[in-house]
Amino acid sequence: MNTPPGILVRDLSLNFGGVTVFEGLGFEIAARKFTALLGPSGVGKTTLLRIIAGLEAPATGQVAASDGAPLAGRIAYMAQQDFLLPWASALRNVMLGATLRGAKPEPERALHLLERVGLGGQAKALPQTLSGGMRQRVALARTLYEDRPIVLMDEPFSALDSITRLRIQNLAAELLAGRTVLLITHDPLEACRLGHALFVLSGTPARLGAPLHVPGPPPRAADDIALLQTQGSLMRTLTEAIAP
């Protein structure tokens, strides 16, 4: 993996179903940091992530890497659902990228990643025999197997119970450290535990507020005083964003 670049979003505009979702939206995602993106449902967070991932095209505007090289091929994407293939074992799901690119799969590396996420013993298991938390950890291992400098995550842990979520957040913070990560979340605690910078997207067309910065390296303890203070500010910002 090369040195992870930052992401520059410039002058982004998009209309959807007669609604102006973005108009001249621009911001920067810092290199090698966790950036959390919050905001009310339907404001366009997922759309923004999909545009950065190259899955959707904006009407106008650009998404570029801060090092000037193309973004294509340098992004790994993890969605809210695990999207594991039900006919393939956990191990084969982790190696899906290699299979799809016609590259030689590396089962040792995949197994090592499964061990890192605590599923070394479940390598041969089919997804449907695993719990929601386990499946999401397989998806995390699959994301890590891609070994991309930029990782985009769309509410990846929202369907998990709070204890499992805390554990997988710790794991994500540890395993994704040093990469450029953009994390969409509805959970202020998750944003404050993992994010270096927190953005709130709100309004029509959607605008980004000034980022909040949380001191200390992630993952932060849930009872950390600085975290709780930031969480309070974040809640206020979110409440104002949703208020009519």
Partner 1 sequence: MRGVRPATTFLVFLGLWWLVARYSSVPPFMLPPPGDVAAALWTQRGLLLGNTLVTLAEILLGLLCGTVLGGIAALGIVFSPVLQRWLMPVLVVSQAIPVFALAPLMVLWFGFGMAAKIIMAMLVIFFPVTANFADGLRRTPPGWLDLARTMNASPLAVLRHIRLPAGLPAFGSGLRVAAVIAPIGAIIGEWAGASSGLGYVMLNANARIQTPLMFAALFILAALTIALYVLVDRLLRRLLYWAPDTTGG
Strand partners, 25: 12
Q: How many helices (H) and strands (E) would you count in the chain? A: 8, 10
> Please, which of residues 13-42 interact with partner 1 by CB under 8 A?
none
Among 76, 130, 166, 227, binds partner 1 (CB under 8 A): 76
Single-letter amino acid code for the residue at 132: G
Site string for partner 1, 97-116 (x = CB under 8 A): x-xxxx--------------
Site membership for partner 1, residue 176 (CB under 8 A)? no
Minimum CB–partner distance for residue 118 and partner 1 (Å): 22
Q: How far is CA 2 from CA 50, 96, 161, 177, in A?
A: 23, 21, 35, 14
Among 43, 75, 141, 144, binds partner 1 (CB under 8 A): 75
Minimum CB–partner distance for residue 73 and partner 1 (Å): 6
> Please, which of residues 127-156 interact with partner 1 by CB under 8 A?
128, 146
Q: How far apart are CA 30 and CA 180, in angstroms?
A: 7
DSSP string, 34-103: EEEEE--TTSSHHHHHHHHHTSS--SEEEEEETTSS--TTSEEEE-SS----TTS-HHHHHTHHHHHHTP
Among 126, 173, 208, 228, binds partner 1 (CB under 8 A): 126
Site membership for partner 1, residue 57 (CB under 8 A)? no
Q: Where does this chain touch partner 1 (CB under 8 A) — which range of 68-76, 170-178, 211-219, 228-236? A: 68-76
What are 54's two structure tokens?
Answer: 């190259």
State the residues that interact with partner 1 by CB under 8 A. 50, 53-55, 72-73, 75-77, 79, 81, 83, 85-87, 96-97, 99-102, 126, 128, 146
